[in-house]
Amino acid sequence: MAFIDWDAAAPGPRSWDLGFVAWRWVPFWRDEKCEAHGLPTGVRDKVRRFQLLLDAYGIAPEIGIMQLGIERVRQMQQHMRDLAATGSAWEVELERRGVLDEGALEIAWMKEHAAELVRR
């Protein structure tokens, strides 16, 4: 299995992409958002799912993956804000719905749980 994000495709480290994939697909979301989407809550399930993702890619868990993932989320959020500022319809809609503001909450969640997520 592979994840490809053509919207922001660019050369970069593997852990940059894995951090982004984990944010969206583990997902590294607050319990309230997981609940609203019918997903399991709590850190334990996210640890398990993140380990499965890392194992599938043959990557050892380390805090650097989380740090790069956080930076990637930050960069993507800024990219979407920049697009919204130029009038890009989809990003304007995301901003209007508050989706872009959720990125800061998710980054805070990732920072709070980073060490636990990479512990074996």
| Cβ(22)–Cβ(50) below 8 Å | yes
Please check the confidence at residue 1 and state whether its pLDDT lies above 90.
no
Please check the confidence at residue 120 and state whether its pLDDT lies above 80.
no
- The answer to the question of residue 54 being in a domain is yes
Domain count, the chain: 1
Alpha-carbon distance values, 80 to 44, 75, 95, 112 (Å): 30, 9, 9, 24
- The answer to the question of residue 6 being in a domain is no
Q: How would DSSP label each residue in 10-33?
A: ----HHHHHHHHHHHHTT---HHH
- The answer to the question of residue 9 being in a domain is no
- The answer to the question of residue 39 being in a domain is yes
- The answer to the question of residue 7 being in a domain is no
At 49-99, the pLDDT tens digits run 999 999 998 888 888 888 988 998 899 899 999 999 999 999 999 999 999
C-alpha span between 76 and 23 (Å, rounded): 11
Range of the domain at 20: 14-118
Please check the confidence at residue 5 and state whether its pLDDT lies above 70.
no
pTM of the full structure? 0.83
